[in-house]
Structure 1
Amino acid sequence: MTTQTDLPEMQEYTLDIGSKKIFVAETGDGPPALLLHGGGPGASGVSNYSRNIAELAKEYRVLVPDLPGYGRSSKGIDLTDPFGSLAHGIRGVLDRLGLDKAHLVGNSYGGACALRLALDTPDRVDRMVLMGPGGIGTTRALPTPGLNSLLNYYTGDGPSRLKLEKFVRDYLVFNAAQVPDSVIDARYEASIDPEVIASPPLQRPKDLRTVWRMDFTRDKRLNRLPVPTLVLWGAADKVNRPSGGRMLAERMPNCDLYEVANTGHWVQWERAGLFNRLCADFLAGRR
């Protein structure tokens, strides 16, 4: 099992993006690839991709930001357009680093961020890998139990380790026994940052216009998005429905789909060896 001590040495810095600060860790040489993490409580870039960074850094300049609202980045995002707010922040990272174009790898909330960035500015994205991205058919059916668990984390009686453990073990992964207590402990501690509690970056939308804005299947640009894309979706995903992968493959003109058996929402963590191989090959054009 990969641990934090297995990570390569990484350069860490904070970029000023408008009035916000975005933390970035990076390692490796080669074409730039940004790894964008999911939106679960206590998530951060390096922790989400702890099993992938070292392998991908053998071929790529791996850039791992904490999305706006998470980790060591500034808290608070535009909740009337969450995906657009995230995409704006990550595009700012590209600008500050002088990168005209980069690969984007996005899990869940990070996948929605990547897809929105690609739809708004396709010339900034080389290739894209999405793992169970958010925003696929979100207005077509009631939220899944996993998504409800995520959205309810900061409501009711507030955050607790028990609520976080239930989300991770019951909904995030296929095999709960794979997740060590240390992962739960670390994410819980990060989730109770007072700034995050005051303004959770992932909340239940309060306006119908926001709901529609967060459903990519209503965006006609999806039909002509030129960016080569690989979608990886756990067949047992309880957070975002696996049918979303087939929807993307049918709509996007350059989209490959790989549905991963006996895997939940956290493909890059649960099936790290498979993910690392597929991701590295796809980004290099070894299809």
Structure 2
Amino acid sequence: MSTPTMIEQTVDVGGKTIFYAETGAGPAVLLLHGGGPGASGVANFSRNIAELAKSFRVIVPDLPGYGRSSKGVDQNDPFGYLANSIRGLLDRLDIRKAHLVGNSYGGACALRLALDTPDRVDRMVLMGPGGIGTTRALPTTGLQHLLAYYGGSGPSRDKLETFIREDLVFDGSAVPAEVIDTRYQSSIDPEVIANPPLRRPSGLRTLWRMDFTRDSRLAELGTPTLVIWGSADKVNRPSGGKMLADIMPNCDLLLAANAGHWVQWERADYFNQVTHAFLTV
């Protein structure tokens, strides 16, 4: 699926640069990418932007620490830092209320933004979001590989290829080599190596703050939410979807067959259809 012509801009948010691409017209939808090494907004949603832009004003930022946005994330409260940055982007674009579509790290950003300022979020679509029951079980193998990418011998293309083909997606052979090459080059930006945006939480307070199932506000969050979880997700456990559906009062849950942690890429047609339908109810 080709990506339509997009306007590319950078804005200052709290003294930091946020890069975003924009296309389409209609209600605002922000697409928030995951936190894997070398991730960026347009690349992560390459199979979704054109379809969603037929009905929406699609805004695709690079989250802080990634792509062309400023590097560095507050490790004492990373989800809060991401949420504040994206709320600041909405302010700069004069958008009072928007739909949020978030994958993994971006899903955690969306959920934290909605918890802190529910009046700013219309509807949410969360794909395998981070921070769901993370203090209630040991990390998955995929998450361990993700968090260890910059550790040990440091980043390498082999490390990244193993993570993407074996942990990120259901069918590793479907990922083109150029996708891995591009992400690897982004992952070895010296500023990122010096300050990786996604790392193991330091301290019990940070760890608990990053588990949304321990936040009492979740049961009161009325934002209509669609959770889509790949049934073969090896990074964030699919059981997290049931946790959210049990706690949140307006949460629908879909389990996507033959998909891992990257549903919007692996099951793009399915994802585009259900997301469009949910956001236009």
Q: Indicate the TM-score class for this superposition, using the shorter chain for normalisation.
A: over 0.9
- Moved beyond 3 Å, runs of 4+: none
Mapped pair 1:249 → 2:245: yes
Mapped pair 1:28 → 2:5: no
CA displacement, residues 232-271 of structure 1 (integer Å, 9 cap, x when unaligned): 0000000000000000000000000000012100000000
**Alpha-carbon distance between aligned partners in 2 of 1:235 and 1:220, rounded to the nearest angstrom:** 27
What does 1:1-287 align with in structure 2 at a 5 Å threshold? 2=1, 6-285=2-281
Relative to the length of structure 1, the TM-score reads 0.97
C-alpha deviation, 1:71, in angstroms? 0.2
Q: Which amino acid aligns with 2:90?
A: L
Q: Which amino acid aligns with 1:280?
A: H
C-alpha deviation, 1:9, in angstroms? 0.2
Q: Which amino acid aligns with 2:147?
A: L
**Alpha-carbon distance between aligned partners in 2 of 1:284 and 1:96, rounded to the nearest angstrom:** 25
C-alpha deviation, 1:19, in angstroms? 1.2
**Alpha-carbon distance between aligned partners in 2 of 1:142 and 1:19, rounded to the nearest angstrom:** 37
**Alpha-carbon distance between aligned partners in 1 of 2:106 and 2:231, rounded to the nearest angstrom:** 19
**Alpha-carbon distance between aligned partners in 2 of 1:80 and 1:18, rounded to the nearest angstrom:** 17
C-alpha deviation, 1:134, in angstroms? 0.1
**Alpha-carbon distance between aligned partners in 1 of 2:173 and 2:157, rounded to the nearest angstrom:** 17
C-alpha deviation, 1:25, in angstroms? 0.1
**Alpha-carbon distance between aligned partners in 2 of 1:54 and 1:274, rounded to the nearest angstrom:** 14
**Alpha-carbon distance between aligned partners in 2 of 1:202 and 1:77, rounded to the nearest angstrom:** 8
Relative to the length of structure 2, the TM-score reads 1.00
Number of corresponding residues = 281
CA displacement, residues 90-113 of structure 1 (integer Å, 9 cap, x when unaligned): 000000000110000000000000
C-alpha deviation, 1:139, in angstroms? 0.2
C-alpha deviation, 1:40, in angstroms? 0.0
**Alpha-carbon distance between aligned partners in 1 of 2:15 and 2:152, rounded to the nearest angstrom:** 31
CA displacement, residues 107-132 of structure 1 (integer Å, 9 cap, x when unaligned): 00000000000000000000000000
C-alpha deviation, 1:206, in angstroms? 1.3
Q: Which runs of 5+ in 1 are unaligned?
A: none
Q: Which amino acid aligns with 2:178?
A: S
**Alpha-carbon distance between aligned partners in 2 of 1:139 and 1:158, rounded to the nearest angstrom:** 26
**Alpha-carbon distance between aligned partners in 2 of 1:159 and 1:60, rounded to the nearest angstrom:** 37
